[in-house]
Amino acid sequence: MTKLPVSGTSLASPIRGEGQLKQVLIDLRVDQAPSPTAVHELYLKLAAIIGRWMSEQQQLEASSVAGSLLSTAKALNEVSIILGGFETGIHSSLEIAVASRIAKFLALDPSITSLAEAQELLSSFRREAARIAHVCMVARADLPRGSERSGRRAVDWYDDFTALLLLLANKAVSARTRWRGQDCVRTGWLVEAAQALESFLYREMRSPSAEACGKRLQRSRRRLREVKGQNRRTR
């Protein structure tokens, strides 16, 4: 089902500390003496990646939002109709009875000076309810329609994680990525770094194996190259 895009940004603390992150950077040969500032900046980037993952888990399906907008519009329209029972026009006996009784008891409010003022307040509320009902239907029509592409949905947050790994790879000493035969299992520095940094992420975010990690990196790098190519063509 189509899901609504994530809006806003959030941060969530990694499950391991900055001191452990510093040691990981040393072990990966990114920096033999990383500064506290550099470690903290990387830590915040991991926090942002976790925050994006959490946001993606909370994405709403467009169909559920559409259903709520429709039910809200129907309820407001019903309110708008029944509150017009005391106004000029043709109304059912039920509408007249309900609207008149609401106006009568609303006029007992100390802040309301008369029955006429209570009726005007109801009329104003009725008009606003009708307007908001219309806006609900417009908002519903504006939602994305149809289903997402077949297959698994792209893990967008992992693209951010991969981009971060590629930046670290440029700094690493003897960083290497190689293929082991034709089994599509990526080994070497990039997978080693990915698994080391995934240990700072929530358990649900981690790759279940080195092979799965390699495949995630492969797909992510392909998406990043596609985005980069699109950006170049639009310049």
Q: Is 177 helix (H, G, I), strand (E, B) or coil?
A: strand
Output the 3-class SS for 183-202: CCCEEEHHHHHHHHHHCCCC
Band the pLDDT of 5: cuts 50, 70, 90: low
- C-alpha 224/C-alpha 160 separation (Å) is 9
What is the number of helices (H) and of strands (E) in the chain? Answer: 8, 2
- At 63-99, the pLDDT tens digits run 788 889 999 999 999 999 898 888 877 888 998 999 9
In 3D space, the residue among 148, 138, 149, 150 whose CA is nearest the CA of residue 66 turns out to be 138
Q: Give the number of other CB atoms < 10 A from CB of residue 166.
A: 16
More confident residue, 176 or 137: 137
- At 39-65, the pLDDT tens digits run 999 999 999 999 888 877 766 677 788
Cβ–Cβ < 8 Å for 151, 5: no
Any idea where the domains of the chain sit in the sequence? Answer: 18-59+154-234, 62-141
188 — phi, psi (to 5°)?
105, -165
